[in-house]
Amino acid sequence: MRWMLTFLLSTLLAAPLFAVKVKLKSEDKEVETTLTSLSGDIVSYKRGRKDATARLDDFEPASAFLIKKSFTAEDATQVLELARFALHRGLYVQARETARSATRLDAAQGPEAEAVADIADILQADQLLESASNRLEAGKPIDARTLLTQILEKFPKTPAAIKAEVLLSTIDSVELELKSRQLEEEARKAQETADADERKKRQPVDDWLASIADQTKALEDKKIEADADCNAGHTPTGLPKYESTVSTAIRLRKTIEDNRKWLKYRGQPELADKLDARALRTIIDCYERWGFFLYRLARYDMAAEVVAKGIVLDPKDRRLLSLKVDIDELYDPTESN
């Protein structure tokens, strides 16, 4: 009887442990594999009746994580080490979830687990930002906008979120320029249609002016957001908003100027003038607030440069002139550092 028990026990211990689908880097697809052991970084496994071994990093990262997880005990320290394993292989979702699993096993691991989760957030946000930049360079602003919005929604506290907000402003101008060219072509075709009534002919340009008006309002709102951020002491967030607002408003004014030849119907030139004036006023207002907050941060050289740009646009603006006097009392660009 004892002999039979020993035989059964040895048979059970020799039996395969885990059957999973994993993928080696040298293979084209996942293959059903029975894992038998993990010793250090050496994985022993079976495929059918064939025994084989490979290093853990010979597998694709997701498969390597699955293998490592299969041999990880329900111990907070080991689970946290598994989270770091995922983090180092770019598996940010798995790293985040695994780190928080360690906290559930042992609350004392909470601070270290959250640190791993925070790093995963930062790295994943950076990865999304890079993908968005590539999409933008490839002329796919809609795809880029989706990724940037995802960063702002899921990872608002990461450095990438600030850059994402600036890039979104750039996307607005890119989309506007693309739409402007499309509407310009539609307007040209409408002008050539002799039997179309005036409303049909002018509609593409009216739609274009409406899109310009929406963008102008968005710029004014962006400037208000920047004011609120800086007034609350969040200048690292607010100052880039002034810069992106000015950059976009300059492109907006150029777009209006480049398309004035299509403003042939009643009210269109006058509306374009008003929108241009609003964009100009937004630029000047941004320069004044931008320069003021730089002055408060003692960045006198940058403040002087920003204020000078505003004075070029409106030499009689009393706010800019007064701010220039304050800066000049503390900063002389001719003095050597």
Q: How confident is the model at residue 331 (pLDDT cuts 50, 70, 90)?
A: confident
Higher-confidence residue of 6 and 47: namely 47
pLDDT (tens digit per residue) in 163-212: 888 888 777 776 677 677 777 777 777 666 544 677 788 899 999 999 99
Residue type, 138: A
Q: Are strands 18-22 and 31-39 parallel, antiparallel or unpaired?
A: antiparallel
- Position 310 pLDDT exceeds 80: yes
The rounded percent of the chain whose pLDDT value lies above 70 is 90
Q: Are strands 42-47 and 31-39 parallel, antiparallel or unpaired?
A: antiparallel
Distance from C-alpha of 278 to C-alpha of 223, rounded to nearest angstrom: 12
pLDDT of residue 5: 42
Going from the C-alpha of 147 to that of each of 96, 170, 249, 321, the distances in angstroms are 20, 14, 24, 42
Residue with tokens 């880029």: 144
pLDDT of residue 155: 86
Nearest to 240 by CA among 147, 313, 169, 311: 169
% helix, strand, coil for the chain, step of 5: 75, 10, 20
User: What tokens appear for 116 in the block?
Assistant: 């791993």
Distance from C-alpha of 46 to C-alpha of 35, rounded to nearest angstrom: 6
10 Å Cβ neighbour count for 55? Answer: 11
Q: How confident is the model at residue 276 (pLDDT cuts 50, 70, 90)?
A: very high
Higher-confidence residue of 167 and 261: namely 261
Residue type, 238: G
Query: Hey, is 234 helix, strand or coil?
Result: coil
Q: How confident is the model at residue 329 (pLDDT cuts 50, 70, 90)?
A: very high
165-330: CATH topology is 1.25.40
- Position 3 pLDDT exceeds 50: no
User: What tokens appear for 167 in the block?
Assistant: 């890039």
> HSE on the CB side for 293, CA within 13 Å?
23
27: left (phi over 0), alpha (psi -120 to 50) or beta: beta
Distance from C-alpha of 203 to C-alpha of 187, rounded to nearest angstrom: 8
Higher-confidence residue of 44 and 287: namely 287
- Position 30 pLDDT exceeds 60: yes
pLDDT of residue 133: 85
